[in-house]
Amino acid sequence: MAEEARKKIEPVRSVKGTRDLLPPATGLWQRVEEESRRVFEAYNFREIRTPVLEETALFRRSVGADTDIVTKEMYTFEDRDHESLTLRPEATASVVRAYIEHGLFNDGGIHKLYYMGPMFRRERPQKGRFRQFYQIGAEVLGSDHPSVDVELLEMLALLVERLGLGNSTLLVNSVGCARCRPEYVKVLKRALEGVKSKLCADCQRRAVTNPLRVFDCKVEADQATIAGLPRILDYLDPECRQHFEFVTAGLRDRSIAYTIEPRLVRGLDYYTRTTFEMTSGALGAQNALMGGGRYDGLAEMLGGPPTPGFGVAIGEDRLVLAVEEAGALRAAVGLDAYIAWMGDGAYGPATKLARDLRREGLSVEIRRPTDAAKLKKSLGVASKLSARYSIIIGEDEVAKGRYQVKDMTSGQQEEVEPARLVAYLKVRMGTGG
């Protein structure tokens, strides 16, 4: 009765667009995160952790009230006290909020912060795009100098190199500032009026609602027309132009390959001047590995003191995808030792050995009793777990005071006294890797 009833229960599954990351895949994620931390810390970035939940207003004011993210992609709900809360769709706004909230501007100088964690956007999932996705980001607050931009781009180039992603392309552009961009948008709108009839339906719509977006069009037939549109780089004011030239010169100076992409227009309202994106060929339609730019007006938009900023958001899901594709990074695998024991008399010594090895930081597995006839089974388990060594402890070994240590790669076996075992294994672990 109860059995039959149970069969009908639909198992609960993960929510659409969210996923479980299981071992061994998580090993690769850990490697990517480790490498990121190492590189960031080398550039003197320090970690900041902000809440996943924020007041909705934060994103409306920063990301932009009529961007796609805010109008249709946020997970927003009313809390019990009627406050509107949102699961963060990105983290730059949170970092700047924290910067203001804790008065970090009071100690002068610049702040270099990095973060990693889940973000949420309610989009239709596809390759490299999820409703809960992970970003690794870095932000520099407090300097409007273009050397900041160059340094961060240099850091990203190093990260990409460390991850074995040689085939990435860096695209850079400038979207001007609050003074010169509106001028350009006017010019662009006028130009679009003239050629509107030649463009696809989507572009005709964009020409009115968000002219900069026309540059994202992928319709082949539109490309010639789009190529003929005025470019923002030709409309930058002198300060913005100088800033951009400093950045590109800095990249050349460091031999960092880049392509100027006048069509690169970031989708968030807060960007000013430098914008960039790094793409990877291995990703499908969602090929942006990371993107970012300068946001000199953001702190003010959030009610803080004028504070220039520059940052990047890396799509970790995509980064991991690309790293898998490239195959250059291997996750740490396997087990250092498997303890195959048999016979009641071996139980005590075997568990004690396991404890000692584990206290030394070795990765050790020990399982239920196996009867002496099934040693082969234990070794089979050791093999399946990719153990580097198996330690065989039967009653013979206990009596003799020496355990059998089997190197699972070579098949070689040696007798080792329990007291020497930790040292024996540590020496071999150290050199073997």
Answer yes or no whether residue 196 interacts with RNA by CB under 7 A: no
Answer yes or no whether residue 313 interacts with RNA by CB under 7 A: yes
Answer yes or no whether residue 372 interacts with RNA by CB under 7 A: yes
**Inter-residue long-range contacts of 11-19, CB under 8 Å, 24+ positions, other chains counted:** 15/131, 15/132, 16/125, 16/131, 17/122, 17/123, 17/124, 17/125, 17/130, 17/131, 17/132, 18/130, 18/131, 18/132, 19/130, 19/132
Binding mask 113-132 for RNA (x = CB under 7 A): --------x-xxxxxxxx--
**Closer residue to RNA in complex, CB, 156/240:** 156
State the burial class of residue 233 (Cβ atoms within 10 Å of its Cβ: 0-12, 13-18, 19+).
middle
Contact 196, 204 (CB under 8 A): yes
Answer yes or no whether residue 382 interacts with RNA by CB under 7 A: yes
Answer yes or no whether residue 359 interacts with RNA by CB under 7 A: no
Answer yes or no whether residue 317 interacts with RNA by CB under 7 A: yes
Which of residues 373, 430, 431, 433 is near RNA by CB under 7 A?
Answer: 373
Which of residues 46, 49, 384, 420 is near RNA by CB under 7 A?
Answer: 384
Positions in 74-113 near RNA (CB under 7 A): 90
Binding mask 32-71 for RNA (x = CB under 7 A): -----------------------------------xxx--
Answer yes or no whether residue 406 interacts with RNA by CB under 7 A: yes
Q: Which stretch binds RNA (CB under 7 A): 13-21, 52-60, 107-115, 244-252?
A: 13-21
Residue 292: C-alpha distances to residues 90, 266, 284, 314, 407 (Å): 12, 8, 20, 8, 49
Query: DSSP for 354-396?
Result: HHHHHHTT--EEE-S-B-GGGHHHHHHHHHHTTEEEEEEE-HH
- Give the integer Cα–Cα distance in Å for 315 and 115: 12
Tell me how far, at minimum, the Cβ of 384 lies from RNA, in Å.
5
Instruction: Compute CA 11 distance to the chain's CA centroid, rounded to the nearest angstrom.
Output: 30
Site residues for RNA per CB under 7 A: 13, 16-17, 19, 67-69, 90, 121, 123-130, 133, 135, 202, 206, 213, 216-219, 266-268, 277, 284-292, 313-315, 317-318, 342, 372-377, 379-380, 382-384, 392, 394-397, 404, 406, 408-411, 413
